[in-house]
């Protein structure tokens, strides 16, 4: 299944994409099966596998005419962050050797993680808004994400993977001009640089995520997937998820030593080589650009770039 959150309100309504790509009201569909209508996608993916399987079979059997009262054409609804509100989004970095090399960071760098502000998140098709007052060094970072369907804390790699319900995409947009330039020379400078790096990823609209959560039954081996980021049609990033220096399960297990993940929580898996700051000359986002992050089988996260 491909789960979405849609609508003009800040919290949105849970939905699922039909085989034709239209948006189906998940609450209405669940009610038709005498299942408790979920308040959010996060609540739905926390339901029993048997309930989710029933919904999946009903989606596959949708009749556009008979079920039309539940269905909205994709082009007339606004997609919001697919998991809904009130979930944890934890971004990680330092996973792809190719990106560490292009940024001049040692391959022994530890796994780093930071919490993404919910105020920065936007859905597919919503604009990335360049902040006023910067020098124009806004960069892209296409990322693959996992979404939890069960509680996960102090888990092994295999146990953590068994808690994953689906996958989605993220663009970790970053204002490089607000971050200390060059390599920090001492520990205090390193702390300041990392603090700034996190802070200036949190502007409103700097966290595009989506377009949908694709459930694990449709993705046999996420390590074989290829992530591609384009800017205004030009390919900037292309790499396999499996080329990270840790497996997905190892990353989740390490994070679960601290975090207690719940259904709907998201972990982003960092970005591969190809960010604008590392190019010669550097290439940053401009008003009128369009950034897409895509993975075959997951979909395409597309966001236009606007000036404030």
Separation CA 89–CA 117 (nearest Å): 8
> What's the confidence (pLDDT) of residue 11?
66
- State which fold the 89-307 domain adopts: Fumarylacetoacetate hydrolase; domain 2 (3.90.850)
Over its length of 308 residues, how does the chain's per-residue pLDDT go in tens digits? 999 999 865 569 999 999 999 999 999 999 999 999 999 999 999 999 999 999 999 999 999 899 999 999 988 999 999 999 899 999 998 898 888 888 777 666 678 899 999 999 999 999 999 998 776 899 999 999 999 999 999 999 999 999 999 999 999 999 987 555 555 566 655 555 656 667 778 899 999 999 999 999 999 999 999 999 999 999 999 999 999 999 999 999 999 999 999 999 999 999 999 999 999 999 999 999 999 999 999 999 999 999 98
Domain locations along the chain: 2-80, 89-307
Identify the three-state secondary structure at position 19.
Answer: coil
Residue ranges in 65-186 assigned as alpha helix (H)? 97-102, 157-162
Alpha-carbon distances of 195 from 80, 113, 174, 179, 180, rounded to whole Å: 28, 12, 13, 9, 10
Q: Report pLDDT for 108.
A: 63
Phi, psi for 14 (deg, rounded to 5): -70, 140
Beta-bridged to residue 5, according to DSSP, are: 14, 80
* Bond before 211 cis per omega within 30 degrees: yes
What is the value of pTM for the model shown? 0.93
Contact status, residue 163 vs residue 151, Cβ threshold 8 Å:
yes
What integer pLDDT is reported at residue 132 of this predicted model? 87
- The structure tokens 């401009």 sit at 286
Question: What whole-number distance in Å separates Cα of residue 303 and Cα of residue 79?
Answer: 12
Position 188 scores a pLDDT of 58
Please write the tens of the pLDDT for every residue from 7-35. Answer: 865 569 999 999 999 999 999 999 999 99
At residue 170's C-alpha, the angle toward residues 164 and 171, to 5°, is 160
Cα 260 to chain center, whole Å? 19
Annotate 189-209 with DSSP letters as a single string: HHHHHHHHHHHTT-STT-EEE
- In angstroms, the CA 254 to CA 259 distance is 9
Among 132, 134, 42, which Cα is nearest to 89's? 42
pLDDT, tens digit (0-9, with 9 covering 90-100), for 92-145: 988 988 888 887 776 666 788 999 999 999 999 999 999 987 768 999 999 999
Q: Omega into 281 within 30° of 0, i.e. cis?
A: yes
Contacts 24+ apart (CB under 8 A), 218-221: 218/1, 218/2, 218/297, 219/166, 219/167, 219/297, 219/298
Going from the C-alpha of 224 to that of each of 89, 101, 181, the distances in angstroms are: 24, 22, 35
């Amino acid at each position: 299944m491909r789960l979405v959150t849609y609508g003009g309100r800040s919290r949105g309504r849970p939905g699922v994409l039909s085989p034709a790509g239209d948006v189906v009201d998940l609450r209405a569909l669940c009610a038709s099966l005498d299942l408790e209508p979920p308040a959010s996608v996060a609540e739905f993916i926390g339901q029993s596998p048997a309930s989710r399987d029933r919904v999946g079979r009903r989606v596959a059997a949708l009749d556009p005419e008979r079920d039309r009262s539940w269905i909205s054409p994709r082009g007339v609804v606004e997609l919001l962050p697919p998991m809904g509100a009130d979930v944890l989004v934890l971004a990680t970095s330092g996973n792809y050797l190719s990106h560490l090399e292009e940024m001049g960071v040692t391959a022994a760098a530890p796994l780093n993680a930071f919490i993404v502000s919910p105020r920065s998140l936007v859905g597919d098709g919503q604009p990335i808004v360049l902040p006023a007052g910067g020098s124009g060094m806004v960069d892209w970072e296409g990322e693959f994400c996992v979404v939890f369907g069960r509680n996960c804390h102090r888990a092994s790699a295999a146990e953590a993977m068994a808690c994953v319900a689906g996958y989605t995409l993220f663009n970790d947009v970053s204002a490089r001009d607000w971050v200390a330039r060059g390599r920090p020379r001492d520990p205090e400078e390193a702390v300041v640089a990392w603090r700034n790096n996190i802070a200036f990823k949190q502007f409103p609209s700097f966290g595009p995520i989506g377009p949908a959560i694709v459930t694990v039954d449709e993705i046999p081996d996420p390590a074989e997937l290829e992530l591609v980021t384009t800017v205004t049609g030009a390919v900037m990033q292309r790499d396999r998820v499996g080329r990270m220096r840790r497996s997905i399960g190892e990353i989740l297990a390490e994070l679960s030593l601290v975090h207690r993940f719940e259904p709907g929580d998201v972990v982003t898996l960092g970005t591969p080589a190809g960010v604008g700051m590392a190019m010669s000359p550097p290439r940053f986002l401009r008003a009128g650009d369009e950034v897409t992050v895509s993975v075959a089988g997951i979909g395409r996260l597309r966001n236009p770039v606007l000036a404030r």
